[in-house]
Chains A and B, each alone.
Chain A
Amino acid sequence: MNCTEAQERFADVLDGRLPEAGTAEVRTHLASCPDCQREYSSLAQTLVELDALPAAKPGPALRQNFYAMLEEEKNSAASIAAAAARHRHHTRASVWRWILAPAGAGVLALGGFLLGSRYAQPVPGAGMDPATKQELADLRARVDSVGQMVGISLLQQRSTSERLQSVLATLDQKNPDQKVISDLIGSLALDPSTNVRLSALDALYPHAGQPIVRSGVLATLPREQNPLVQVAMIDFLVAARDREAVPELERIVRNETADRVVRDAAQRGLAQL
């Protein structure tokens, strides 16, 4: 082994992690070569001193900041988990309360029609908690006792233009309360006028972040007959990134009697979700 070859292997000799056996040749050369010895010992000395450099110690702020950050993350992780649980409960159970609460008897009919459409299909009961199941059972009982009552919503008692005006008025409210939101969902579900339903949907856009709004739109979609409104609802749910809409969109895509335009919109929506 010559000097160049030996020096190329210095890294291995200097690295404590390698077995000595592999470096025997280098060591033999070193033993008999003063030049290489000088080179090797200067490198070894530098490494020894580098390893011996005292490590700087961090100030107390690093630890304080770390634990503050950890606490914050724990809290936000907990609140996200809680919000997710609330959301699951909310979307399955409370949407009915929101839709039903504002308008008495007419709304019971709405409950009936929503239940009839959505839950006459195979109900995905597996994911439901007992409270939700109970709430749905109660609703069914109430609707059954009223029979096949055809309700007249309060909204329907006014003229179309009045109803449209009341829907449009909500657009001027920056933070409309839940009563207004549920009225809008009621209009979307019940109003006989396509224009009013479309306007209600438009008025709901700023509130698409609320689970109740997305659930309401999703709940009314299966009963909507007008392709124009159906497509607008699908676009709404897709824009709101509502994954809960996936099964309904899949149902529409499979439904051969549905309007071609609607099925295409559902197909597009599924691709985006």
Chain B
Amino acid sequence: MIAAYPDIRVESSSLVVNSASDAVDSATETVSDHDLMLAVRDGDLAALGDLFERHHGPLFGFLVKLTGHRNAAEDIAQTVFQRMLKYRHTYRDDGSFTAWMYHLGRRCAADHFRKSNAAPAPTDPANLQDHADETPHAGDRAATRDDHALLHFALGRLDRDDREVLLLSRFQELSFAEVAAILECSVGAAKVRAHRALRQLRDTYFKLQKEKLT
């Protein structure tokens, strides 16, 4: 399954440490993800701990949106880091860590669904909201939370492939070339698919909002 990966030849961007990973100290912040992963590959396994701290949050968030299930997302995220360890020797000198991580995430999610032999059930918004960050705008919190629930539900109604391409296309730290490499399609195809998925999401979301009002 790793065989497909060498197509990803995008330069490693020196990624900004995601705000979600507050545990990163200033010493590791200066080392790029790419250099950390090269260190892991060369036997410094502890460096994977730094990468975990930086990225497990966003990865988990992506997987929850993709699968609609917290438990599945935790299992898959765990498997992703397991495979990073197992296949560390395949990480390339010209690799991009984030692209690799989401590539593995996508594959692990696909394996997960093949194994459980079940398409993801539509997201249960209540389940997700329990653990979501609270929005800081207290004034219209109720309305916002309602909208979030509807949008989650609308996301759950998309085909998994569409949901995947749409979510990946919104990661600003991934270039479209990287998104395309992760999805193993051309940049043009990735853009078309992402936009089609967005229109579908919009249609469902707006329809749900209208139903709620009436």
Q: Which of B45, B73, B128 contacts A73 (CB 8 A)?
A: B45
Q: Is B126 an interface residue (CB 8 A)?
A: no
| Contact pattern, B 179-202, Cβ under 8 Å of A = 1, otherwise 0 | 000000000000110110011011
Tally A-B pairs: CB < 8 A: 111
Measured between beta carbons, the chain B residues less than 8 angstroms from A50 are: 151, 155, 166, 170, 201
- State in angstroms the CA–CA spacing of A17 and B187 once bound together: 14
CB distance from A73 to the nearest CB of B (A): 5
Select from chain A the residue with minimum beta-carbon distance to B23.
A63
Stretch from A21-29, A54-62, A121-129, A211-219 contacting the other chain: A54-62
Q: Which of A11, A14, A69 contacts B78 (CB 8 A)?
A: A69
Known pairs A42-B202, A56-B64, A56-B128; A49 contacts B45 (CB<8 A): no
- State in angstroms the CA–CA spacing of A69 and B49 once bound together: 11
Q: Is B113 an interface residue (CB 8 A)?
A: no
Q: Tally chain A residues at the interface, Cβ within 8 Å.
A: 32
Q: Which of B73, B152, B176, B192 contacts A53 (CB 8 A)?
A: B152
Decide: A46 and B198 in contact? CB cutoff 8 A.
yes
Decide: B201 and A61 in contact? CB cutoff 8 A.
no
| Contact pattern, B 70-107, Cβ under 8 Å of A = 1, otherwise 0 | 10011001100110010000000000000000000000
Decide: A43 and B202 in contact? CB cutoff 8 A.
yes
Stretch from B3-11, B28-36, B114-122, B130-138 contacting the other chain: B130-138
Decide: A58 and B56 in contact? CB cutoff 8 A.
yes
Q: Is A119 an interface residue (CB 8 A)?
A: no
Known pairs A43-B198, A54-B135, A56-B131; A66 contacts B81 (CB<8 A): yes
Decide: B194 and A11 in contact? CB cutoff 8 A.
yes
Q: Which of A10, A47, A61 contacts B74 (CB 8 A)?
A: A61
Measured between beta carbons, the chain A residues less than 8 angstroms from B195 are: 10-11, 14
- State in angstroms the CA–CA spacing of A65 and B85 once bound together: 14
Interface size class, chain B: 35 or more
Q: Which of A10, A11, A17, A54 contacts B172 (CB 8 A)?
A: A17
Decide: A57 and B60 in contact? CB cutoff 8 A.
yes
Measured between beta carbons, the chain B residues less than 8 angstroms from A55 are: 20, 57-58, 60-61, 64, 132-133
Measured between beta carbons, the chain B residues less than 8 angstroms from A53 are: 65, 148, 151-152
Decide: B201 and A46 in contact? CB cutoff 8 A.
yes
Select from chain A the residue with minimum beta-carbon distance to B59.
A58
Decide: A70 and B49 in contact? CB cutoff 8 A.
yes
Q: Is B147 an interface residue (CB 8 A)?
A: yes
Measured between beta carbons, the chain B residues less than 8 angstroms from A130 are: none
- State in angstroms the CA–CA spacing of A12 and B43 once bound together: 42
Q: List the 3 closest A-B pairs by CB distance, nearest first.
A: A55-B61, A54-B132, A11-B195
Query: Which positions in A face B, CB cutoff 8 Å?
Result: 10-12, 14-17, 42-43, 46-47, 49-51, 53-59, 61-63, 65-67, 69-70, 73-74, 77
Of the A-B pairs whose beta carbons lie under 8 Å apart in the complex, a sample of 24, sorted by A's number, is: A10-B195, A11-B191, A14-B195, A14-B198, A16-B172, A46-B206, A50-B151, A51-B170, A53-B152, A54-B148, A55-B57, A55-B58, A55-B64, A56-B65, A56-B70, A57-B57, A57-B61, A57-B133, A59-B74, A62-B78, A66-B56, A66-B81, A69-B81, A77-B45
Known A-B contacts: A54-B134, A57-B132, A63-B56. Give 12 more (CB < 8 A). A12-B191, A14-B195, A50-B170, A53-B148, A56-B65, A57-B60, A57-B133, A62-B60, A62-B78, A63-B52, A66-B56, A70-B85
